[in-house]
Amino acid sequence: MTSRDCNAWHTPVLLEETIEALAVREDGLYLDMTCGGGGHSAEILMQLGEKGRLYAADRDATSVRICEERLFALKATGQFRTVVAPFSALTRWLPEEDRGKVNGLLADLGVSSHQLDNAERGFSYIHDGPLDMRMDQSQEETAEKLIASLTQDELTCVFRTYGEEQYAARIARAIVLARREAPIRTTGRLAEIVAHAVPPKARRGGHPARRVFQAVRMAVNHEYDELSKLLETIPYIMASGGRVVIISFHSIDDRMVKQAMRRWEHPCECPTDLPCVCGKKPLGRAVKRQSIVAGEREKVNNPRSRSARLRAFVFEEVII
């Protein structure tokens, strides 16, 4: 059986491109920071020889359980370990002896189909459900609490910053008016309020609530801070020759990844017309200048891949 046979749960995007960019070594140590349903993890595990090891992590405990079952079905050899943790906890759970030894790290950002398509998880503007959006269901703050507690200005700021939403101010105003009538408890009601708040022309480019849902999800799960923390930590755990692959689904994440990779490649901040005094040396290089996107066939077969952008970096210098 190949790992592709059990992908009904969540079809991993850019799978071949990811494996190629990671250049998986049989005896390597790999970290899948967003194992989700285990699509990418399973493929990495299949490439590993007896000495190779994989950590499959995700902050969503349900996903990790499913991923674990899937990996056990492939290799019951103790070659992998699953971890329920957010990016920001990486240095708390990664054993000391593995730091500086990671040959490949993958982060396939955003939400999985399982999270998105399960109405109960409250991520979807298409399927009505409780306004939840927590990736980690043990977390206290939900989308409902966020929508109920932020001021109009704060809502505007969230929609603008994390959703790049053009009609942020009018949507925030509509929400504040609506919640005076009754608490906003479902994804359906939030989507409806947004749809009524924007002008008809805003309904042409996909669902009008798409950006607001992205923004609320990012705020509830502190996605910006989480990704910043991961990008900060990565150079301290990679081995020389180690590869990092990050797949983003919207421009905010992709910009952060691109900027981090540029910093890793050109860490010196000294004025270009003066000699360098900081002594910071390049840590490596981007595998490709441009991001890698899905081919036409994948875009048709897996619509989620349409907005995916993969960036890869190879570390040549090690910090610790």
Ligand X SMILES: C[S@@+](CC[C@H](N)C(=O)[O-])C[C@H]1O[C@@H](n2cnc3c(N)ncnc32)[C@H](O)[C@@H]1O
Report the nearest approach of ligand X to the CB of residue 283 (Å): 23
Shorter beta-carbon distance to ligand X: residue 35 or 283: 35
Buried-state track 154-170, b at ≥16 Cβ within 10 A, e below 16: ebbbbbbebbebebbbb
Q: How many of the other CB atoms lie within 10 Å of CB of 92? A: 7
Min separation Cβ 311 and ligand X, Å: 15
Nearer to ligand X, 90 or 190 (CB): 90
CB 147 → ligand X: shortest distance, Å? 20
Amino acid at 229: K
Reduced to 3 states (helix: H, G, I; strand: E, B; else coil), residue 126 is coil
Q: Which is nearer to ligand X, 33 or 131 (CB)?
A: 33
Which amino acid is present at 243?
R
Please state the closest distance from residue 74 (CB atom) to ligand X, in A: 13
Distance, CA of 252 to CA of 258 (rounded, Å): 10
Q: Per the structure block, which two tokens stand in for 175?
A: 């929400």
Gap between the Cα atoms of 63 and 225, Å rounded = 22
Query: In this complex, which beta carbon is closest to ligand X, that of residue 111 or of residue 168?
Result: 111
| Smallest separation (angstroms) from ligand X to the CB of 163 | 17
> Which residues lie near ligand X (CB under 6 A)?
10, 12, 34-40, 58-60, 63, 86-87, 108, 110-112, 135, 226
Nearer to ligand X, 225 or 317 (CB): 225
Whether residue 14 contacts residue 303, with contact meaning beta carbons closer than 8 Å, is answered with no
At closest approach, how far in Å is the CB of 234 from ligand X? Answer: 13
Judged by CB, which is closer to ligand X: 144, or 223?
A: 223
Measuring CA to CA, how many Å separate 117 from each of 34, 126, 193?
Answer: 17, 9, 21
The whole-angstrom separation of Cα 28 and Cα 49 is 9
